[in-house]
Amino acid sequence: MLAIGFIVLFLLLCKFPSSFLATLTGLVLGMCTSCAHNFFHQADKKAWRRFYFDLSLLSHRDWRVSHAMSHHLYTNSFSDIEVTALEPFINFLPAKKNFIQHTLSHIYVYLGIFISFPLEFIKRTVLVISGEQELLIETFSLFYNSFFFSSATMSPPPSSRS
């Protein structure tokens, strides 16, 4: 239902652009991505909702592996890559933080998230085109999403009347 809600809101946003609809669409996309996390832990046959993660242009397959190999083996510890990957810029572990980590990380963490989604999309596209990553059905969603999003936001050409 969340994925359908996102697509409906996105199409409404394309037809009637507004800050309110953009915010609502983004929130529903965030909920889809967050909801997908719960289904990474289930067997593949029951976990079709994990594909919600692909709507955000991230790879559910890549994230599922890194999440299981890092976070679930070393939950919230120094060996957890998800917790320590961005140190010293962002320190999630309880430790004394310097002024920048303590005060500014609340701002630049969102900038990093904002930038990381398109960068991940570009990285995966390059890997597929170069042949370093095989084209799986979920990888294909990259191209489907980009085609869908770009075609939905294109305005029709102006009609020429003489």
Mean pLDDT over each residue of the chain, to the nearest integer: 78
Q: Measured between alpha carbons, how far is 41 from 38 in angstroms, rounded to an integer? A: 6
Q: Measured between alpha carbons, how far is 91 from 35 in angstroms, rounded to an integer? A: 25
Top-ranked range on mean pLDDT: pick from 31-35, 57-61, 86-90: 31-35
Question: Residue 28's pLDDT is what?
Answer: 93
Question: Residue 160's pLDDT is what?
Answer: 54
Whether residue 159 is predicted with pLDDT greater than 70 in this model: the reply is no
Q: Is the pTM of this model over 0.85?
A: no
Higher pLDDT, 97 or 20: 20
Structure token pair of residue 33: 């991505």
Q: Residue 45, by phi and psi: left (phi above 0), alpha (psi -120 to 50) or beta?
A: alpha
Question: Residue 130's pLDDT is what?
Answer: 93
Residue 39, amino acid: F
Whether residue 24 is predicted with pLDDT greater than 90 in this model: the reply is yes
Q: Measured between alpha carbons, how far is 131 from 161 in angstroms, rounded to an integer? A: 48
Whether residue 23 is predicted with pLDDT greater than 90 in this model: the reply is yes
What mean pLDDT do residues 7-22 have? 88
Q: Over the stretch 106-134, which tens digit does the pLDDT of each residue have? A: 788 888 888 888 888 888 888 888 999 88
Q: Measured between alpha carbons, how far is 118 from 34 in angstroms, rounded to an integer? A: 18
| Nearest of 16, 11, 40 to residue 28 by alpha carbon | 11
Question: Residue 43's pLDDT is what?
Answer: 74
Question: Residue 139's pLDDT is what?
Answer: 66
Q: At what angle do helices 19-39 and 2-15 cross, to 10 degrees?
A: 160
Q: Over the stretch 133-157, which tens digit does the pLDDT of each residue have? A: 887 777 666 566 667 666 666 666 5
Most distant pair of Cα atoms in the chain: their distance: 71
